[in-house]
């Protein structure tokens, strides 16, 4: 009876150990998806006083993969900001801004990045507290698309959650936008600083 009991316990232990081995942590090279959100702020100058606006981008997704050299990359990611959600704290000014963007015909501002080298960004942003990394974007406002050089910074990683900031200058004239004016003599400046805070969550295939 004791021999049978010992054998049974040994068999159960073998099965349990096999199950644990099969439940190993996900492979870092396994296919993964990024689920993202962002908050956008923009600083505007004018002949009377400067002001700040804000907006939320739509939720977005992207693939997290590895290139032929084994480096972690994002092949492509697209982010859109609804013009209707852009706020400056002034109803009249909001209306002029949306008119400038021709919201009825072009309801969203679109940004895209291609072949993003995740390891380069992580390395450059991780160089000291003030680490920064350049990132090229294709920005489309109305029917005009331009290449923009943005700066990524303030990287924070916790498990599968990543946050970072992105900033770039914007010229209204380069996008064929006419700066709105109030009472003729109050005019918005051409240069706008755009700042975004991104939150990414990585989900890996089992």
Q: What is the CATH number of the domain that holds 123?
A: 2.40.128.110
pLDDT for res 187: 72
Please check whether residue 8 lies inside any domain of the structure. no
CA distance 118 to 126: 12
Please list the alpha-helical segments (H only) found in the chain.
2-22, 91-101, 118-125
**Domain with 87 in it:** 29-204
pLDDT tens digits along 13-57: 333 333 333 433 445 556 799 999 999 999 998 777 788 999 999
Q: Quick one: what percent of the chain has pLDDT higher than 70?
A: 79
Please check whether residue 147 lies inside any domain of the structure. yes
CB neighbours of residue 52 within 10 Å: 13
- 3-class state of residue 178 by DSSP: coil
Q: Which of 104, 97, 83, 84 is nearest to 177 (CA)?
A: 97
Phi, psi of 106, rounded to the nearest 5 degrees: -125, 80
- As a residue count, the chain comes to 206
* Extended beta strands in the chain, E state: 32-46, 51-56, 60-66, 72-82, 108-117, 132-141, 144-158, 161-171, 181-182, 186-204
pTM metric for this prediction? 0.79
Token pair, residue 86, equals: 């852009």
Mean per-residue pLDDT, 102-117:
96
Place of tokens 């004018």: 46
Q: Which of 180, 118, 162, 171 is nearest to 141 (CA)?
A: 171
Please check whether residue 2 lies inside any domain of the structure. no
Please check whether residue 154 lies inside any domain of the structure. yes
Please check whether residue 159 lies inside any domain of the structure. yes
Please check whether residue 34 lies inside any domain of the structure. yes
Please check whether residue 69 lies inside any domain of the structure. yes
CA distance 78 to 63: 11
Please check whether residue 6 lies inside any domain of the structure. no
CA distance 130 to 28: 28
pLDDT band at 8 (very low <50, low <70, confident <90, very high): very low
pLDDT band at 202 (very low <50, low <70, confident <90, very high): very high
Q: Quick one: what percent of the chain has pLDDT higher than 90?
A: 62
């Amino acid at each position: 009876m004791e021999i049978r009991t010992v054998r049974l316990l040994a068999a159960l232990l073998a099965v349990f150990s096999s199950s644990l081995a099969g439940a190993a942590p996900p492979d870092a090279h396994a296919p993964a998806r990024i689920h993202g959100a962002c908050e956008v702020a923009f600083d505007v100058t004018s002949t009377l006083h400067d002001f700040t606006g804000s907006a939320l981008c739509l939720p977005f997704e992207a693939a997290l993969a590895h290139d032929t050299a084994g480096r972690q990359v994002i092949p492509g990611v697209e982010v859109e900001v609804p013009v209707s959600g852009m706020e400056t704290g002034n109803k009249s000014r909001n209306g002029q801004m949306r008119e400038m963007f021709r919201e009825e015909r072009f309801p969203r501002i679109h940004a895209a990045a291609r072949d993003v080298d995740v390891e380069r960004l992580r390395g450059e942003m991780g160089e000291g507290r003030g680490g920064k990394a350049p990132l090229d974007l294709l920005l489309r406002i109305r029917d005009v698309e331009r290449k923009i050089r943005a700066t990524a910074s303030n990287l924070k990683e916790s498990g599968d959650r990543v946050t970072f900031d992105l900033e770039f200058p914007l010229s209204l004239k380069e996008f064929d936008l006419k700066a709105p004016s109030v009472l003729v003599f109050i005019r918005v400046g051409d240069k706008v600083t755009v700042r975004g805070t991104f939150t990414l969550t990585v989900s890996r295939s089992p």
